[in-house]
Amino acid sequence: MLPVIDAANLSLDRRQAVGIVGESGSGKTMLCRALIGTLPRHGAGIVSGTVQFDGQELAGAPERVWRGIRGREIGYIPQSSLAGLNPVLTVETQLVESITAVGSLSRQQARQEAVALLEKVRIPRAQQVLKARSHQLSGGMRQRVMIAAAIAQGPKLLIADEPTTALDVTIQREILSLITQLRQELNMALILVSHDLAVIEEVCDDVMVMYAGASVEAGPVAALSKAPRHPYTRALRVSRVDRAVPGQDLEAIPGDAASVGSWPAGCRFWPRCALADEACRRDSQPALMPIAQQLSACIHAERMAELEQ
């Protein structure tokens, strides 16, 4: 058995937006899959811990229970919008499927509902798009359709796994602002996964930073971006392209991300960390401890100032 995530804690209220940030391989997507109960499809499972939604325990719940949750209570926008639509079916077929999963609508009503959904995600010429198949739509359009399908049943929570990664920059902004608007209109909580801290800052209230299967820092977005208390969070922040100074080398995190199955002993970030010392190598992965307005899993959280030199 291979551990993929061993320390992650996430809780959110209705209307709250939480971001999960980290490099690829840090366990973000697996965490999302655990939250919608499709881990077994990927040959994985929850060994310990709980997943609770509205007071209902979902970890290890039977498929029958999950069916009542997925789509209806928790909407999901998959990682790759380009592959999220069935290539042989029209947009209409797939949207109508989402709509008719709850309640009993006639075909005509479901169709009207589908048009309304597409308008809700700001798709012009909705009638035409309904008749289209995936390969006839642009990346941005496909992602809008995926969002429409995710909100079709009026979920209380929307999970978006890297919703803008496959899109070009201008479309990214539109999609992000669409998600923000819909969240307010429909009164949904949001979990947004991204490897880009800037995206999280734009949309979320709180953020959880993941590294090698563990959350290393968590707290309000503003606090983490102003004064990070974990060297990894700081590294993510300074390596942002939009903060680059022309003429200067972009700061990159030295080394490679620890991959599943080969986590180093001690704090998993130490091989790439400037603050690392004997204690970091010796002790096991530290737990999150409160410091300032956030939680940090760094035993040297007080020494963060040293990194600014």
Partner 1 sequence: MMTASTGSLADRTLRLLRRPVLRRLAQAFFVAFLLMVFAFLLIRLIPGDPAMILLGDQATEEDVIAYRKLLGIDGSIPSQFGRYVSNMARGDFGVSIRSREPVLSIVQKRLPVSLWLTVTTIFMTVLLALPLGVAAALYRRTWFGHAFQIGASVLVATPVFFSGLVLILLFAVQINLAPIAGYHAGFPANLYYLWLPALTINFVLAPVLARILQSSIVETSSEEFVEAAIIRGTQGWRFYWRYLLRPSLAPTIAALGYFAATVVSYAVIIEIIFNLPGIGMTLVDAVRNRDYPLVQGIVFLSGLLVVGLTFMADLVNGWLDPRAKIR
By CB under 8 A, name the binding residues for partner 1.
36, 38, 41, 67, 70-72, 75-76, 78-80, 83-89, 93-94, 97-98, 101-102, 133, 135, 146, 149-150, 152-153
- Among 180, 169, 146, residue whose Cα is nearest residue 76: 146
Nearer to partner 1, 125 or 135 (CB): 135
Nearer to partner 1, 146 or 267 (CB): 146
Nearer to partner 1, 100 or 233 (CB): 100
Least separation in angstroms between CB 74 and partner 1: 8
Nearer to partner 1, 104 or 170 (CB): 104
Least separation in angstroms between CB 255 and partner 1: 30
Least separation in angstroms between CB 150 and partner 1: 8
Nearer to partner 1, 188 or 297 (CB): 188
Least separation in angstroms between CB 191 and partner 1: 14
Least separation in angstroms between CB 133 and partner 1: 5
Q: Do residues 220 and 205 touch, judged by C-beta distance below 8 A? A: yes
Least separation in angstroms between CB 152 and partner 1: 7
Nearer to partner 1, 83 or 279 (CB): 83
